[in-house]
């Protein structure tokens, strides 16, 4: 089945970062950058959609000098901002477009329910200052050893922003139970990191509850549906019973990213209804762009929601093998790997140009 084919020239191109736009050095290649600029020159909106939080993504994107109004979807879809100007002196600051939070009651339930997996837990807060950087406490952990063993480089790079809080629930004391989108003291997501086997077990534990869904991979729904009608409802009571009006109403969505070569899996835990795909569709609608005018490019399970949402989809050749099988089932094209400028190849094909 060839559902996602280039029959319509894209007006918006959504691109994942790690493993897609970036090479193994964590940088954008000259050819990929030339392709991004060619797309923008052709009037195509270029949107980067990443699991990274905003300021961590901007470390790479800021020097590229892409158009200041281009959007960055970060934290797997919970936050959307414009890039702003590469030079803060120009006075064009990043603009917040959309942001979602986890209700504190939900986050507290999550912490208590994880049990032995608490030592792999990170809570993320959207605390971006006027300079575009985060403050300490943007990342909160209870334990350091397990996370350092799993993602040592990430922990090192982000050490200025990590606060250790014991117990971790203390970081939620001032957060609202109703997940008001204006509250910066509520988390935007939680994250678990560890070996693939251990994260599968953690995922299975969370999915035992009907309010938790798996977004983007065959164990759950695609995650492109709107957020629940009552996202502020407490997730669980002290007796661990569901207190929403509809016991099947999802409150949390799991987004998995696998790195088989490193035996590493990252499980992002977001408010239900939040995903890269949902954020891209919302942004496109605000721009008057239809889903069939979107090209999505990604490499991992957390990209499935936007690959599904787009009229055209390209999966990188460096994607996990089981995801490639899904690509064949859903009619996505398999493009070159991130080491072979797969993003540039996809954009060149879509625009009918060559930037090599």
The predicted-structure confidence for 272-328, as pLDDT tens digits, reads as follows 999 999 999 999 999 999 999 999 999 999 999 999 999 999 999 999 999 999 999
What DSSP state is assigned to residue 260? G
74 vs 174, which has greater pLDDT?
A: 74
Range of the domain at 214: 104-271
pLDDT, mean of residues 47-57:
95
pLDDT, mean of residues 55-68:
93
What's the confidence (pLDDT) of residue 226? 36
Q: Which of 203, 197, 212, 201 is nearest to 150 (CA)?
A: 197
The answer to whether residues 223 and 155 belong to one domain is yes
The answer to whether residues 134 and 79 belong to one domain is no
Least confident of 124-128, 176-180, 184-188, 227-231: 227-231
Phi and psi (nearest 5°) for 74?
-120, 170
For the cut 90, the answer to whether the pLDDT of residue 228 exceeds it is: no
The answer to whether residues 226 and 325 belong to one domain is no
Please report which confidence band the pLDDT of residue 90 belongs to, taking 50, 70 and 90 as the band edges.
low
Distance CA 256, CA 159 (A): 23
Please report which confidence band the pLDDT of residue 355 belongs to, taking 50, 70 and 90 as the band edges.
confident
Final residue of a structural domain among 271, 302, 322: 271
User: Looking at residue 55, which CATH number applies to its domain?
Assistant: 3.40.50.1000
Distance CA 341, CA 129 (A): 33
For the cut 90, the answer to whether the pLDDT of residue 168 exceeds it is: yes
The answer to whether residues 95 and 108 belong to one domain is no
Percentage of the chain surpassing pLDDT 90?
Answer: 73
Note whether residue 214 is domain-resident.
yes
What's the confidence (pLDDT) of residue 241? 36
Note whether residue 6 is domain-resident.
no
What's the confidence (pLDDT) of residue 225? 38
In terms of phi and psi (left: phi > 0; alpha: psi -120 to 50; beta: otherwise), the region of 210 is: alpha
What's the confidence (pLDDT) of residue 237? 31
What's the confidence (pLDDT) of residue 185? 77
Percentage of the chain surpassing pLDDT 70?
Answer: 84
Classify burial at 356, counting beta carbons within 10 Å of its beta carbon; exposed 0-12, middle 13-18, buried 19 or more.
Answer: exposed
pLDDT, mean of residues 142-168:
95
The answer to whether residues 153 and 218 belong to one domain is yes
3 state SS of 338: helix
Predicted model pTM? 0.86
The answer to whether residues 122 and 263 belong to one domain is yes
Instruction: Please give the angle made by the CA atoms of 118, 319 and 272, to the nearest 5 degrees.
Output: 45
Residue found by looking up tokens 């207190």 in the block: 243
Q: Which of 129, 35, 48 is nearest to 83 (CA)?
A: 48
- Highest mean pLDDT out of 110-124, 131-145, 182-196: 110-124
What's the confidence (pLDDT) of residue 312? 97
pLDDT, mean of residues 202-225:
72
What's the confidence (pLDDT) of residue 22? 98
The answer to whether residues 233 and 140 belong to one domain is yes
Instruction: Share the mean pLDDT of the chain.
Output: 86
Q: How many helices (H) and strands (E) does the chain have?
A: 10, 15
Please report which confidence band the pLDDT of residue 250 belongs to, taking 50, 70 and 90 as the band edges.
confident
For the cut 50, the answer to whether the pLDDT of residue 232 exceeds it is: no
pLDDT, mean of residues 35-51:
97
Contacts of 294 (CB under 8 A, 6+ apart): 10, 11, 12, 13, 14, 280, 284, 309, 310, 311, 312
Please report which confidence band the pLDDT of residue 1 belongs to, taking 50, 70 and 90 as the band edges.
very low
Distance CA 291, CA 312 (A): 9
The answer to whether residues 18 and 40 belong to one domain is yes
What's the confidence (pLDDT) of residue 336? 98
What's the number of domains the chain is made of?
A: 2
Please report which confidence band the pLDDT of residue 85 belongs to, taking 50, 70 and 90 as the band edges.
confident
Please report which confidence band the pLDDT of residue 7 belongs to, taking 50, 70 and 90 as the band edges.
low
User: Taken in order 289, 294, 299, 300, is the CA torsion positive or negative?
Assistant: positive
Note whether residue 1 is domain-resident.
no
Say if residues 235 and 299 touch (Cβ distance below 8 Å).
no
Final residue of a structural domain among 244, 271, 298: 271
Distance CA 247, CA 260 (A): 35
Please report which confidence band the pLDDT of residue 88 belongs to, taking 50, 70 and 90 as the band edges.
low
Cα 264 to the center of its chain, rounded Å: 17
For the cut 60, the answer to whether the pLDDT of residue 182 exceeds it is: no
For the cut 50, the answer to whether the pLDDT of residue 2 exceeds it is: no
The answer to whether residues 84 and 215 belong to one domain is no
Long-range pairs for 139-144 at CB < 8 Å and ≥24 separation?
Answer: 139/163, 140/164, 140/165, 140/168, 140/171, 140/187, 141/165, 141/168, 142/118, 142/166, 142/167, 142/168, 143/118, 143/119
The answer to whether residues 293 and 178 belong to one domain is no
């Amino acid at each position: 089945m060839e559902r996602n084919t280039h029959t319509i020239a894209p007006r918006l191109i959504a691109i994942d970062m790690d493993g897609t736009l970036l090479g193994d050095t964590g940088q954008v290649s000259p050819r990929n950058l030339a392709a991004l600029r060619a797309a923008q020159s052709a009037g195509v909106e270029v949107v980067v959609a990443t699991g990274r939080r905003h300021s961590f993504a901007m470390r790479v994107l800021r020097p590229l000098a892409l158009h200041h109004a281009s959007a960055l979807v970060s934290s797997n879809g919970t936050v959307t901002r414009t890039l702003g100007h590469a030079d803060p002196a120009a006075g064009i600051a990043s603009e917040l477009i959309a942001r979602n939070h986890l209700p504190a009651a939900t986050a507290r339930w999550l912490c208590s329910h994880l049990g032995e997996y608490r030592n792999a837990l990170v809570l993320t807060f959207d605390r971006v200052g006027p300079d575009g950087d985060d403050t300490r406490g943007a990342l909160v952990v209870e334990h350091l050893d397990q996370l350092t063993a799993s993602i040592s480089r990430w922990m090192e790079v982000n050490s200025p922003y990590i606060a250790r809080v014991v117990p971790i629930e203390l970081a939620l004391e001032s957060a609202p139970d109703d997940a008001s989108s204006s509250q910066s003291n509520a988390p935007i997501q939680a994250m678990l990191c560890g070996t693939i086997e251990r994260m599968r077990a953690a995922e299975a534990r969370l999915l035992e509850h009907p309010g938790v869904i798996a977004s983007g991979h065959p164990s759950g729904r695609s995650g492109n549906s709107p957020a629940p009608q009552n996202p502020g409802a407490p997730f669980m009571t002290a007796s661990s019973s569901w207190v929403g009006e509809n016991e099947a109403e999802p409150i949390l969505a799991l987004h998995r990213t696998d790195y088989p070569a490193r035996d590493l899996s990252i499980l992002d835990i977001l408010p239900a209804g939040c995903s890269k795909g949902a954020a891209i569709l919302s942004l496109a609608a605000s721009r008057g762009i239809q889903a069939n005018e979107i090209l999505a490019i990604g490499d991992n399970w957390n990209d499935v929601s936007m690959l599904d949402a787009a009229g055209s989809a390209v999966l990188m050749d460096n994607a996990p093998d089981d995801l490639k099988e899904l690509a064949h089932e859903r009619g996505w094209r398999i493009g070159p790997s991130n080491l072979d400028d797969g993003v540039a190849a996809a954009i060149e094909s879509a625009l009918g140009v060559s930037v090599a």
